[in-house]
Amino acid sequence: MIVCSCNVLTDQDVRTAVSATPDAPRTAGQVYGCLGCSPQCGRCARTIKRIMDEALTGAACCNGCPRG
């Protein structure tokens, strides 16, 4: 799913950037840089942060349920 229309970034792009290396990005701004772009309108920053949090913690897909 596209989460950033300005840069055409998908949720999978964000997950890949976050899980790529031990020194992976830890902020939305770092994710943009890692993916070779920069924030434009900023409306996606919260969504990117949420995806990052889920990817880094192996968090739930919905309301606390563990990923399968």
Q: What is the pLDDT of residues 9-62, one digit of tens each?
A: 999 999 999 886 778 888 999 999 999 999 999 899 999 999 998 988 875 455
Q: Which two tokens stand for residue 41?
A: 């309108």
Q: Are the C-beta atoms of 31 and 14 separated by less than 8 Å?
A: yes
H or E, element range at 33: helix 28-34
* 4 strand-pairing partners: 9
